[in-house]
């Protein structure tokens, strides 16, 4: 990877004297950026390009070549790759388009590029990319002539267009970039590789990524988690909606996985996910220029009450609190500001505030121990000298130990002021909400980073042998779905408590079983062909006598047979009735991320309420804590409105056990327990149902 980021020499294959061609522009950009290593233009028809000696091929160069940038038409790329391999080139950047984004034939060509790279042990960036820059290595190996300011933000983007927008924005705001990588189709180097490098790059303090789809989801999560321990990682993932995903697939041939899974993945990796490019810009500004806040107390200094109130409202939306000032701070403000000014938070320095008044208030609140960050708001009243306030705010650059941001709210009158503040490396926005949201992201990141210590996945023991035999036996009969009782056997083998139950073939057997278990009982149809029993009349709760059991047996069998003709019915299961709060625990398998564990409010309304959360297995204690706490109905589990608290510890234990089953048996493609009954504290958690679906391909 070092040869990609810091090559000692670069050959541009397809360099041209024609200034309109990409091969010319790339070579010219490398020269203009004052690349310090050796540069070799490769062109079979030229002796010299842009003042540099040209060579007909890579192998004709009489020296070692660290990196090759390829700008020849797609059909020529495999032969250039072969040549690079023979030459001993370490990394290749393939700018050429016309690969898997074009369909089947392009995909075959791309596969060949990947195979050749592997054969020779070369790393490949692209194809179908803009190339890469490293401002600290004086290297612009792209075909864009926008040269960003050198700085501490590393950007990796799957879209060339997003790349150019970010570059243009960087020159407008003065946010400096360390490296800039257009990843293209990712035949080899992907985001996970880049994170592995960037997390230790001393020139990079913030990482921003635009992602359409991940190649190696689990590795991406692993590297992202490592990187975000060291520096903030901001990810803009498009394809949130199904139409967005479709556009992403046709864009670079990426398969965007289910968006909820990406959400879970980024959350577990402590990455900050943003939804729009504006938000990405806003967060890059604040993270690259400001120190992290130590707490969540915000001070607002404003010349307009309305904006102050809006900023205060935005606080709770973005995880900040309005700091309450020490008496000393209030006295200090009262001593300096006019009588009509508000010296409590938000501090209103009044419409006619001078730059000095702003400065005094900012300094006073900054010194307050309850304040961790400051937002300076300005409305373009005729009485305010915007450029004076902006120049004054600019003087805080580089000498603050708490983040300070501006929000100059307007348009024509405020634009120049915003620019002035930004050029001084103080984040400045055009609305209170953007300012507060950006500070909120910093607070969130600091909290995530500080609590990221617990990384060890929890491992559970189970009777592997028994489950393996069960799965093999079910698959050998040609079935892929297990009956409820088979599913429960699996759960039992992994230490999940299930209510006592007896499957009975006749009404008489059922009555006797119920008497043995004790009334009331639950009756459930037992059939491998029915996934959702209650939908077809296959569940009856609270049956409380032998006579009632007999009658319900006959009724249930006939009802279910009528509703699901042809279903094989083994009988009816008589179950011990357990009490508790109904939750759901499930598992699906994602192609990119592997087993995804779902937890949420259970029962028949689960699909309507959608009060569920997901995490990717293996799970750590923090993951499961976060899962359980994050559902809207968490208060029900802790004992809302005088109810008893549920046995949350035993619930977590079951979540870990389900994750373990998923990890141990890749053949299980889906598993769902709904409901899981969480008893009162100390009473345990029972799996009342079990749906297990297998797949054959493993």
Binding site residues, ligand COA, CB under 6 A: 13-14, 16-18, 21-23, 42-46, 71-74, 76, 80, 95-98, 128-130, 160, 182
Nearer of residues 71 and 353 to ligand COA, judged by Cβ: 71
β-strand 521-526 against 123-125: which pairing, if any? unpaired
Looking at the DSSP bridge assignments, the partners of residue 581 are 678
Looking at the DSSP bridge assignments, the partners of residue 208 are 155, 234
- Cα–Cα distance for residue pair 670/693, rounded to 1 Å: 5
- Taking the complex as a whole, the smallest distance from the CB of residue 241 to ligand COA amounts, in Å, to 24
Interhelix angle 484-493/464-476, nearest 10 degrees: 160
Does residue 283 contact residue 263 with C-beta atoms inside 8 Å? no
Nearer of residues 74 and 178 to ligand COA, judged by Cβ: 74
Nearer of residues 79 and 395 to ligand COA, judged by Cβ: 79
Chain centroid offset of residue 491 CA: 31
Nearer of residues 69 and 264 to ligand COA, judged by Cβ: 69
- Taking the complex as a whole, the smallest distance from the CB of residue 623 to ligand COA amounts, in Å, to 36
Q: Which helix (H) or strand (E) holds 423?
A: helix 415-423
- Taking the complex as a whole, the smallest distance from the CB of residue 41 to ligand COA amounts, in Å, to 9
Q: What are phi and psi of 528, to 5 degrees?
A: -70, -10
Nearer of residues 70 and 227 to ligand COA, judged by Cβ: 70
* DSSP single-letter state for residue 72: S
- Cα–Cα distance for residue pair 326/321, rounded to 1 Å: 15
- Cα–Cα distance for residue pair 654/686, rounded to 1 Å: 9
Looking at the DSSP bridge assignments, the partners of residue 355 are none
- Taking the complex as a whole, the smallest distance from the CB of residue 129 to ligand COA amounts, in Å, to 5
Nearest residue to ligand COA, using CB?
A: 160
The token pair at 30 is 């490398």
- Taking the complex as a whole, the smallest distance from the CB of residue 566 to ligand COA amounts, in Å, to 55
Nearer of residues 102 and 309 to ligand COA, judged by Cβ: 102
- Map residue 470 onto helix, strand or coil: helix
Which of 29, 213, 238 is closest to 132 using CA atoms? 29
Chain centroid offset of residue 572 CA: 45
- Taking the complex as a whole, the smallest distance from the CB of residue 307 to ligand COA amounts, in Å, to 40
Residue with tokens 């294959």: 13
- Taking the complex as a whole, the smallest distance from the CB of residue 27 to ligand COA amounts, in Å, to 11
- Taking the complex as a whole, the smallest distance from the CB of residue 53 to ligand COA amounts, in Å, to 14
Nearer of residues 16 and 223 to ligand COA, judged by Cβ: 16
Nearer of residues 42 and 504 to ligand COA, judged by Cβ: 42
- Taking the complex as a whole, the smallest distance from the CB of residue 278 to ligand COA amounts, in Å, to 22
- Taking the complex as a whole, the smallest distance from the CB of residue 94 to ligand COA amounts, in Å, to 9
- Cα–Cα distance for residue pair 544/542, rounded to 1 Å: 6
Nearer of residues 112 and 466 to ligand COA, judged by Cβ: 112
- Taking the complex as a whole, the smallest distance from the CB of residue 474 to ligand COA amounts, in Å, to 49
Nearer of residues 49 and 691 to ligand COA, judged by Cβ: 49
Q: What is the DSSP string of 561-603?
A: HHHSTT----EEEEEE---SEEEEEEEEEETTTEEEEEEEE-S
Nearer of residues 77 and 539 to ligand COA, judged by Cβ: 77
- Taking the complex as a whole, the smallest distance from the CB of residue 28 to ligand COA amounts, in Å, to 13
- C-alpha distances (whole Å) from 14 to each of 6, 65, 102 are 21, 15, 22
Q: Which helix (H) or strand (E) holds 348?
A: strand 347-348
- Cα–Cα distance for residue pair 295/374, rounded to 1 Å: 12
Interhelix angle 217-230/191-198, nearest 10 degrees: 20
- Cα–Cα distance for residue pair 405/407, rounded to 1 Å: 7
Nearer of residues 96 and 425 to ligand COA, judged by Cβ: 96
Does residue 122 contact residue 4 with C-beta atoms inside 8 Å? no
Total number of residues shown for the chain: 698
Chain centroid offset of residue 630 CA: 16
Q: What residues have CB less than 8 Å from 79, skipping those under 6 apart?
A: none
Nearer of residues 161 and 172 to ligand COA, judged by Cβ: 161
- Taking the complex as a whole, the smallest distance from the CB of residue 66 to ligand COA amounts, in Å, to 18
């Amino acid at each position: 990877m070092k040869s990609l980021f810091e090559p000692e020499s670069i050959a541009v294959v397809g360099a041209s004297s024609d200034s309109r061609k990409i091969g010319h522009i790339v070579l010219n950009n490398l020269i203009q950026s004052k690349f310090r290593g050796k540069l070799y233009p490769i062109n079979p028809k030229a002796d010299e390009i842009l003042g540099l000696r040209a060579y007909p091929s890579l192998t004709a160069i009489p020296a070692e070549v660290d990196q090759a940038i390829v700008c020849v038409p797609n059909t020529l790329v495999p032969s250039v790759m072969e040549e690079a391999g023979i030459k001993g080139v370490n990394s290749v950047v393939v700018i050429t388009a016309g690969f898997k984004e074009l369909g089947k034939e392009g995909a075959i060509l791309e596969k060949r590029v990947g195979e050749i790279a592997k054969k020779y042990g070369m790393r490949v960036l692209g194809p179908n990319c803009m190339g890469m820059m490293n401002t600290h290595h004086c290297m612009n190996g792209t075909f864009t002539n926008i040269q960003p300011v050198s700085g501490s933000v590393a950007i990796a983007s799957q879209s060339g267009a997003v790349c150019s927008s970010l570059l243009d924005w960087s020159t407008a705001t003065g946010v400096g970039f360390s490296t800039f990588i257009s990843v293209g189709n990712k035949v080899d180097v992907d985001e996970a590789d880049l994170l592995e490098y960037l997390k230790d790059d001393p020139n990079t303090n913030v990482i921003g990524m635009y992602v359409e789809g991940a190649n190696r989801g689990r590795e991406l999560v692993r590297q992202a988690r490592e990187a975000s321990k060291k520096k903030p990682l901001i990810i803009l993932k498009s394809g949130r909606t199904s139409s967005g995903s479709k556009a992403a697939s046709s864009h670079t041939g990426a398969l965007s996985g289910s968006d909820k899974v990406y959400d879970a993945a980024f959350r577990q990796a402590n990455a900050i996910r943003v939804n729009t490019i504006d938000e990405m810009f806003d967060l890059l500004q604040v993270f690259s220029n400001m120190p992290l806040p130590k707490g969540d107390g915000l001070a607002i200094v404003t010349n307009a009450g309305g904006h102050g109130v809006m900023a205060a409202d935005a606080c709770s939306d973005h995880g900040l609190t309005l700091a309450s000032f020490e008496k000393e701070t209030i006295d200090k403000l009262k001593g300096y500001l006019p009588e009509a000014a508000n010296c409590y938070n938000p501090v209103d320095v009044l419409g006619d505030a001078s730059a000095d008044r702003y400065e005094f208030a900012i300094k006073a609140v900054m010194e307050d121990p309850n304040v961790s960050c400051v937002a300076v708001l300005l409305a373009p009243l005729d009485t305010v000298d915007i450029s004076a306030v902006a120049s004054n705010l600019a003087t805080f650059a580089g000498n603050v130990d708490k983040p300070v941001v501006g929000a100059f709210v307007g348009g024509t009158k405020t634009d120049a002021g915003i620019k002035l503040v930004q050029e001084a490396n103080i984040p400045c926005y055009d609305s209170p909400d953007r300012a507060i949201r950006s500070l909120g992201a910093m607070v969130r990141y600091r909290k995530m980073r500080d609590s990221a210590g617990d990384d060890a996945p929890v491992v559970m023991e189970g009777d592997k042998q028994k489950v393996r035999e069960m799965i093999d036996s079910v698959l050998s009969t040609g079935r892929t779905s297990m009956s409820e009782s088979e599913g429960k056997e699996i759960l039992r083998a992994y230490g999940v408590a299930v209510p006592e139950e007896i499957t009975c073939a006749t009404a008489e057997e059922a009555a006797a079983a119920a008497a043995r278990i004790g009334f009331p009982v639950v009756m459930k149809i037992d059939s491998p062909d029915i996934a959702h029993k209650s939908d077809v009349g296959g569940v009856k709760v609270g049956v409380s006598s032998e006579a009632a059991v007999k009658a319900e047996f006959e009724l249930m069998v006939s009802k279910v047979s009528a509703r699901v003709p042809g279903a094989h019915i083994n009988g009816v299961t008589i179950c011990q009735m357990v009490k508790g709060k109904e939750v759901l625990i499930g598992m699906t398998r994602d192609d990119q991320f592997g087993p995804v564990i779902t937890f949420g409010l259970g029962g028949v309304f689960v699909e309507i309420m959608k009060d569920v959360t997901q995490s990717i297995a293996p799970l750590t204690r923090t993951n499961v804590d976060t899962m359980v706490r994050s559902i809207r109905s968490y208060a029900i589990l802790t004992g809302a409105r005088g109810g008893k608290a549920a046995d949350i510890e035993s619930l977590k234990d079951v979540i870990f056990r389900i994750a373990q089953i998923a990890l141990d048996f890749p053949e299980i493609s889906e598993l769902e327990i709904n409901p899981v009954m969480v008893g009162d504290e100390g009473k345990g958690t029972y799996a009342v149902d079990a749906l297990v679906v297998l797949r054959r391909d493993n």
